[in-house]
Amino acid sequence: MEEKELVVKKRNCLFRFPEDMQYRDLAPVFPELLDFFMRISDQYPEDSGEEYMETLIRLNLKDLVANNKPMGHNREARYRMIFPRDTDRVEFFVYPRISEEESKIDHIVKQLSEFFKERDMEHELVWDQMRSLMKEQKKK
């Protein structure tokens, strides 16, 4: 009998920063973070890419510099980075809007985590919390 390896596919990841971190602390790295995220997830816009990215960065930086949760970006993308509304902590989800078979979420999260480590930004990775939060909200 042939042995089969069980593969568990991760669906989303929460990047959680220390409780004492504020949104303005993310502002200095955000332009590079967003650019990096769009490139490693192969979502960097080809047509008018620079202008589009500048607009996304400017809109989100305005919120971060004011120490507010950013409104978000890349809503129609295959991979999204969103800041949940139901917390005061600095944290964001990365999740795919494509099939699990096509998703490279593990690879993207690993590279983003390295990005933060290289900048000495302490963070925690919490896998597959978004799905359970969404289910809890539906029950209410």
Greater pLDDT, 96 or 140? 96
The Cα 100–Cα 58 span in angstroms is 32
Tokens of 50: 């620079």
Report the pLDDT averaged over residues 100-124.
94
Residues 6+ apart with CB under 8 A from 32: 115
91 residue type, one letter: E
Nearest to 93 by CA among 16, 41, 37, 27: 16
User: Whose structure tokens read 């993310």?
Assistant: 26
Indicate if the pLDDT at residue 135 is higher than 50: no
88 residue type, one letter: D
How far are the Cα atoms of 1, 45, 54, 139, 140 from residue 37, in angstroms, in the given order?
Answer: 43, 12, 14, 33, 33
The Cα 94–Cα 84 span in angstroms is 11
Provide the residue ranges of all domains of the chain, joining segments of one domain with +: 13-139
Could you tell me the pTM of the whole model?
0.82
How do residues 50-109 score in pLDDT, each as one tens digit? 888 888 899 999 999 999 998 765 666 788 888 888 888 999 999 888 787 788 999 999
- Please report, rounded to a whole number, the percentage of residues in the chain having pLDDT higher than 90: 46
Average pLDDT score, the chain: 84
The Cα 89–Cα 33 span in angstroms is 18
User: Whose structure tokens read 């979420």?
Assistant: 105
Predicted local distance difference test score (pLDDT) of residue 76: 67
